[in-house]
Amino acid sequence: MSSLALHIPVLLDEVIAGLAPQAGEIHVDGTFGAGGYSRALLGAGANVIAFDRDPDAIAEGAALVAESGGRLTLVADVYSRMVEALAERGIDHVDGVTLDVGVSSMQLDRAERGFSFQTDGPLDMRMGQSGTSAADFVNSADEAEIADVLFHLGEERQSRRVARAIVAARPITRTSELAAIVRRALGYREHDKKDPATRTFQAIRIHVNRELGELEDGLAAAEQALAPGGRLAVVSFHSLEDRIVKRFLKERSGTPAGSRHLPELRAPKPSFEAVAKPVRASDAELARNPRSRSATLRVARRTGASAWAMKGRAS
């Protein structure tokens, strides 16, 4: 079996139903991975511009590009840069954007990528294979910064204790070392239900890949890229991510907080239609793919109103 076959797309039918791709439309798949969503979009006759920051995912997508008859373009970049990358290809607006955020099974399963606390590998965790690695972070950040990351991004209640143990054990170069340090610090026993290293690994991965900032910027970029009537589908895997998506869509489909104090003309109009309930995996999918347990899909439709000003940027 090829490694591409190892990643089972999550909520695939529900994502495609939400995106409702039509022949000849242009769709952005912001997180190509093993190409599960892109393949389905191509199957519906759409043209697809797919992004992945991981050069391995892009290289392994070459076969699907060849099969697509010119309808699939792969871009080795972060999805938050979609507006610029589309403009470079002469595209102003698209009919759909999908984001399936987080790590892929290929990244987790390849020990040499350093994402997994269950197999030993170099302490890396960089999706894009460049920049600050997990080892760089744990070996150079101060204790308070490590504790903050573990608390906020891993919801680790004993973040200070774990950060102290990490600093005392430096330098740390292997995933197995980091996992053992966390387990020792938190008193893990073999039969415990959840390995406490889960939270620390999640936090460090989100931090080194700036995942939450990417998601915020990516949603704003999708808002700019989508044509009136365009569809957005976002699959997230934990509450930190889903909260960002939920807040963004709630804000953009309503009136901005404090707008009653703004002159009528300056208040932005809703850029997304009122949003339907989030979608979770069916029992059949849960039985087939345990990874779908924590997945939440939110779908929204773009209105004809202008995109709101991006945070920290001029409109």
Residues of this chain that bind ligand SAM (CB under 6 A): 7, 9, 31, 33-37, 51-54, 57, 78-79, 100-102, 104, 127, 214
**Residue 34 · residue 55 · CB < 8 Å:** no
Residues 6+ apart with CB under 8 A from 196: 182, 183, 186, 188
CA 179-118-121 angle, to 5 degrees, is 80
CB of 5 to ligand SAM, least distance (A): 10
CB of 295 to ligand SAM, least distance (A): 9
Q: Residue 25 or residue 217: which is nearer to ligand SAM going by CB?
A: 217
CB of 132 to ligand SAM, least distance (A): 15
CB of 246 to ligand SAM, least distance (A): 19
CB of 54 to ligand SAM, least distance (A): 4
Residue 224 tokens read as 């700019």
Q: Residue 54 or residue 165: which is nearer to ligand SAM going by CB?
A: 54
Q: Residue 13 or residue 142: which is nearer to ligand SAM going by CB?
A: 13
Q: Residue 183 or residue 231: which is nearer to ligand SAM going by CB?
A: 231
Report the candidate in 97, 94, 98 with the shortest Cα–Cα distance to residue 26. 94
Q: Residue 102 or residue 196: which is nearer to ligand SAM going by CB?
A: 102
Residue 68 tokens read as 């697509």
Residue 232 tokens read as 């957005």
Report the candidate in 152, 118, 119, 116 with the shortest Cα–Cα distance to residue 134. 116
Residue 5 tokens read as 């076959």
